Structure formats: C-alpha cells, structure tokens
Amino acid sequence: MEYMSLYLFAAVFILLLIGYPVAFTLAGTALIFTVIGEASGTFDPAFLEALPNRLYGIIGNQILIAVPLFVFMGVMLERSRIADELLTTMSRLFGRLRGGLGISVILVGMLLAASTGIVGATVVTMGLLSLPTMLKRGYDPKISTGLICASGTLGQIIPPSIVLVLLGDVLSSAYQQAQLDMGIFSPETVSVGDLFVGALIPGLLLVTLYILYIAGVAYFSKDSMPAASDDDTVYENHLIHDVIKSLIPPLILILSVLGSIIAGIATPTEAASIGAVGAMLLALSKNMLTLETLQEVVRSTTRVSCMVFMILIGASLFSLVFRGFEGDALIQELLSDLDGGKYHALFVVMLVMFLLGFVLDFIEITFVIVPIVGPVLLAMGIDPVWLGILIAINLQTSFLTPPFGFALFYLRGVAPAEIKTTQIYQGVMPFIVIQLVAMAMIAYWPMLATWLPGQIS
C-alpha cells in the first residue's frame, strides 16, 4: 500500500478524462480513498480534522477575492467593445505595411491580455473580429489562426492574469511550507504582486518574439501576408487622434491596476476592485453599461468564480488526503533520487505539467499539481518567482498544443466553416516553438523573471 497516493492521483486523472466534474471528482475520490485507507490501515482519519480550518482559510483568504473582481473586469471590458475599436485603429495605423494587420493583432492581444486576463474571452473576441478581416485581405489561414490563438493566450502570462493570482496564492503557501520543512521558522513570503512584476519582462519578451516572427514571415513569404491595398486602407487626417482616443482609456486602466500594485499603493485585491470600477466607467463612457449588460456580466462572473472556488475546495480535500497517504514524501523521494539535482527535477515537473495541460485546465493543474510538487522544488532552493513564471508560460504553451489545446477549441468554435481544424493545428506550431524558446531563455537566464521584482522590492 506504499503507493496509495499515486493510485489516488491516477483515479482522479482517469475520472477527469471520462468527463466527471472536476471539483466533485477531486473531493469524491479523496473521500472514497479515505474509506479504503482506513479499512486497510494505511490512512489516519485524524487528517480530515484539519479540513474545516482549510476551508475557513479559503473563505477568509483576501487574495482570492481578487479572482471574481478580475473576472468582472474582464467580462465588462469584453462587453464594452474595446477590442473592436483597438483593432480598427491599429489596422489603420499600420496602413499598408506588409504584415501590419498581423502585428496589430498581436498588439491588441497584448492590450486585451493586460486588460482582461481571460484567455477564452480574448481568443473568441479576436477570432470574431480579426479573422474575417485577415482572410479577406488574403492572409494565409494557417498564419491567421495561429496568430489569433497565440495572441489570445498572452492573458496567461501578462498581468493582471487570473493564472498568476491563483499561482501566487498557491506558491505562497508552498514556499512557507518548504521553509518550515527546512527548519526556517521565520519564513519569507512571495506575493501575487511579485509574480505580476516578474511576469512583465517575460510577457514583453513573448510579444517581441511574436512580432519578429510575423515580420520574418512577411518579408520571406510575401504571398502569405500581403500588404493592404488602397481599397482596404482608409487614410484620414484624424488617424492619430483616433488611435490615442482608443488607446488612452485601456492604458489608463492597465496602469491604474498594475501601477498601484507595483508601487505598493494597493494589494492585488484592492487593485482588482479599481479595475472593476474602471471597467464599468469605461463601458459607461461608451454607452454600453445598461442594466441588461450588468446582469449578464454579474451572471458570467458568478459562474466562473463559483467554478474556481469549488475546484479549490475539492483540491484542498484532495491534497489533504494525498498528504495523509504520505504522497508528499513519496514525490520528494522520487524527485530527489533523479540524477542532475534540482534542475533535472524541475525539467521533469515542467514536462509532466506540459503533458497534463493537454487534458486538464490550468485551474486544476494549479490547485492539484503545484501544491504537491511546489514545496519539494522550493525546498531544493529554486526561486519561487522564477518557478511561478516558468509554470505560467508552460501552461500557456499547453493551451496552444494540439490536439487538446483549449485556445484551439475556442477559435474552432467561432472560425468560419471553410477553416479546417488541421489548418489551426498547423498555424500554432511556430508559436509553440516560440513559447518553448522563451521558456528555455527564462530557464537559462532566471534574471529575466527575478531581476525586476528584486529592483522594486
């Protein structure tokens, strides 16, 4: 019965593949294994006495209040048609530049990522707005679809990202546990703000690599990304005015949210409330804030928030039972026995997360996998911010990877019928390579993730 913890994990994985709801699968399977463990003498039911305190900790966790606020902000901005205006003005700004529309899509995707932090909303919005335009101008369908999927997933790494909020909370607990296990009883902390700051340079690095790739394709393969003709591009005297008018509101909102966190003026939760109110004001300025719109936004926010917290509660019970079966000790033993030390262990964990990303959502990986492997890796001396950024980019890459990448499903749902699924798969391949290159660069040069937080703190 030495491997009961691995049997528990395998049972959960199989049930998730079958299609059972995540939250109830995590909690239900854990409870079934407690009965099996108690009957076989391999589990001490006293472990379950810690569950009320864990649930109370979730309810009283102020950082997690940022989740519904950021979701509200993102959904409200989606309803305010900000992406429509940004894409239109950016396309006009780049004019007849070859590949200009592709660069516009990347920049708009970056701004939407920094405004909403919701991958699904960004991919669907960009798919509906930009894909028909790109196809009309003669862009290769593979380039077009790959570009939209990749730009949409920037919401995974560019703050304020829901992924970073959840990762920050989980890694904070894992980091404190790792230090306590090492006998450090005055542990240092890592915050969501640290991850936000650490993600800025890697996020901009990804955007730069995307633009360089599009520029290269436009130069070497002119037919795949033709320049806009005079008929396609409308030049107006008020172009700069219109661009500034479209850019200023979202930029003010982004700087208000991120700037208040980076400057230490507000916590992530307080900054999220600023973003939620700012999103409502922005929608109001565009005459998009009606009672019906507000009801839709609140319903959508409630659905997403309930899903996140139910998964978190189920994952909390799962991790408690997993530790009751001494699964954490088993994982630590397996990773410690690997040749090559902490870097080999880190590589194995990243590879496992990448593969799990094919079939599991980032929320499930964050709440189930990170609490198990996080303390082990952090106890080996790995920087928590560096680890968090690597995990975030890894999950972002799994969003793009066929055949189960979630971003591919989102785009497939709104793409025209003439776009083949194989074209979407082929289109994302270069961007997967770019993601892996960026992840390798951050792994080789940790300062890309850790330098800026060190300067600000």
Taking 80 as the threshold, does the pLDDT of residue 2 lie above it? no
More confident residue, 287 or 390: 390
Q: Assess whether pLDDT exceeds 70 at residue 366.
A: yes
Neighbours of 155 (CB within 10 A): 31
Closest CA to 362 of 400, 313, 328: 400
Q: Tell me the C-alpha distance between 276 and 266, whole Å.
A: 14
Higher pLDDT, 226 or 440: 440
Q: What is the pLDDT of residues 174-185, one digit of tens each?
A: 888 888 877 777
**Predicted local distance difference test score (pLDDT) of residue 5:** 83
Half-sphere exposure of 118 (CA within 13 A, CB side): 22
Q: In the prediction, which pLDDT does 247 show?
A: 81
Contacts of 187 (CB under 8 A, 6+ apart): 175, 176, 179, 180
Query: What are the pLDDT digits (tens) for 54-72?
Result: 788 878 777 788 888 888 8
Q: What angle do CA 40, 43, 46 make, to 5 degrees?
A: 135
Per-position DSSP letters for 91-150, written without gaps between them: HHHHTT-TTHHHHHHHHHHHHHHHHH--HHHHHHHHHHHHHHHHHHTT--HHHHHHHHHH
**Residue 160: is the preceding peptide bond cis (ω within 30°)?**
yes
409 or 107, which is more confident: 107
Is 70 exceeded by the pLDDT of residue 234? no
Q: What's the confidence (pLDDT) of residue 447?
A: 94
* Residue 360 CA: distances (Å) to CA of 14, 64, 352, 364, 406: 11, 21, 12, 6, 9
Take residue 118 and report the two structure tokens written for it: 């919701």
Average pLDDT in the 64-92 region?
A: 79
Confidence of residue 359 (pLDDT cuts 50, 70, 90): low
Query: How much is the pLDDT for 249?
Result: 83
Q: Cβ contacts of residue 43 below 8 Å, gap of 6+?
A: 4, 33, 34, 36, 37, 321, 324, 325
Q: Which two tokens stand for residue 274?
A: 């600023």
pLDDT in tens, 194-223: 898 999 999 999 999 999 999 899 888 877
pLDDT of residue 174: 86
Average pLDDT over the chain, rounded to an integer: 83
**What is d(CA 366, CA 284) in angstroms, rounded to the nearest whole number?**
35
DSSP annotation string for 349-366:
HHHHHHHHTTTS-HHHII
Q: Buried b / exposed e across 81-116, counting CB within 10 Å, b at 16+?
A: ebbebbbbbbbbbbbebbbbbbbbbbbbbbbbbbbb
Mean pLDDT of 431-442: 93
Q: Is the pLDDT of residue 341 over 80?
A: no
Closest by Cα among 285, 377, 275 to 328: 377
Q: What pLDDT band is residue 118 in, cutting at 50, 70 and 90?
A: low
Contacts of 20 (CB under 8 A, 6+ apart): none
Which residue is associated with the tokens 């659905």? 303
Report DSSP state, residue 61: -
Question: Across residues 426-443, what is the average pLDDT?
Answer: 93
Candidates 140, 78, 131; CA nearest to 104 is 131
Q: Is the pLDDT of residue 235 over 70?
A: no
Task: Copy the structure tokens of residue 440.
Answer: 């390798």
Q: How confident is the model at residue 95 (pLDDT cuts 50, 70, 90)?
A: low
395 in Cβ contact with 382 (< 8 Å): no
By the 8 A CB rule, do 371 and 170 touch? Answer: yes
pLDDT above 90 for 317: no
**Per-residue model confidence as pLDDT tens digits over 7-57:** 888 888 888 778 788 788 888 998 999 999 888 888 888 878 888 887 888
pLDDT classification of 430: cutoffs 50, 70, 90: very high
- How far is 220 from 369, CA to CA, in rounded Å? 42
Rounded to two decimals, what is the model's pTM?
0.82
Query: What are the residue boundaries of the structural domains of the chain, listed by start?
Result: 66-311+385-456
- Tell me the average pLDDT across 227-251: 68
- What is the rounded distance in angstroms from the CA atom of residue 457 to the CA atom of residue 455? 6
Using pLDDT thresholds of 50, 70 and 90, give the confidence band for residue 448.
very high
Provide the 3-class DSSP secondary structure of residue 267.
coil
**Cα–Cα distance, 319 to 298 (Å, whole number):** 31
